[in-house]
A and B are shown apart, each in its own frame.
Chain A
Amino acid sequence: DARVTQTPRHKVTEMGQEVTMRCQPILGHNTVFWYRQTMMQGLELLAYFRNRAPLDDSGMPKDRFSAEMPDATLATLKIQPSEPRDSAVYFCASGLQGGRTNEKLFFGSGTQLSVL
């Protein structure tokens, strides 16, 4: 079965360090999303791309977060410098979207980030 692959699954780092999370979307999907999940805020949209072009990154703290899609098989989310409040589970999801409707999303297993 096709699946969205995220690495790493777990990351523990110290405050101030750079963190890079990677996502391989499902082949053929044209839209990639980054979400962050915490107990307090639930699932928050951070950014998303269509055909590798960024469509919306208004959910990201711009001073420390950056998201890119260097090619169709890789999406990255970087935090530099990381802070304890960034501790959360970060999910990547991909889907085939456009036209008249949005179809379902496929989620990766997430990266659980702990910033000490």
Chain B
Amino acid sequence: SQQGEEDPQALSIQEGENATMNCSYKTSINNLQWYRQNSGRGLVHLILIRSNEREKHSGRLRVTLDTSKKSSSLLITASRAADTASYFCATSRQAGTALIFGKGTTLSVSS
């Protein structure tokens, strides 16, 4: 079974609003990563948070990790039309093992 599951499956917002996506996983992890995929393209790494970290920021992105609840959230602040894409969380159970991806959240940002 997949390690990570994103929620919601789809999200539609207006430019300037914040977008929050959640990820839940089932087992202990080494780290959790978020990726973005534009239509017809490969995935692009956004941010990595290690199991001993609780929050991380990168530009307009904020990621939180709650290992007790086995969940993470990705917040995109002041969204732009260019943020329209699918967002995936990915986890690995331990160092050296493969990343397992969820099915993603499709974000649509309208101007």
Contact = CB atoms under 8 A, between A and B. Distances in A.
Given A43-B103, A98-B96, A110-B42, 7 more contacts: A45-B100, A91-B42, A93-B43, A97-B96, A102-B92, A107-B42, A108-B42
Given A42-B101, A42-B104, A98 B43 contact: no
Interface string A20-41: 0000000000000101000000
Interface of B: 2, 30-31, 33, 35, 41-45, 48, 50, 88, 92, 95-104
A31 to B, nearest CB: 9
Interface size range of chain A in the complex:
20 to 34
A102 B30 contact: yes
Contact of B99 (A42, A105, A109): A105
Nearest to A100: B95
Interface of A: 4, 33, 35, 42-43, 45, 48, 50, 55-56, 91, 93, 97-110
Contacts of A93: 42-43
Contact of A43 (B31, B33, B88, B95): B88
